[in-house]
Amino acid sequence: MCGVLALGAITLLSGCMNAPTVDVLASGESAALPASVGADQRDNVVPDTARLLGEDSEGHSYYVVEAREQTGLGSICLVVDGVDHGPMMGCGAMPIEVGTDGVRARLSVEVTPEQSGEKIGEYLRVFL
Tens digits of per-residue pLDDT, 24-66? 888 788 999 999 999 988 998 999 999 999 999 999 999 999 9
Q: Whole-prediction pTM value?
A: 0.78
CA angle 102, 16, 7 (to 5 degrees): 60
* Total number of domains constituting the chain: 1
For residue 53, the enclosing domain spans: 3-127
The whole-number average pLDDT for the span 60-73 is: 87
What pLDDT does residue 109 have? Answer: 84
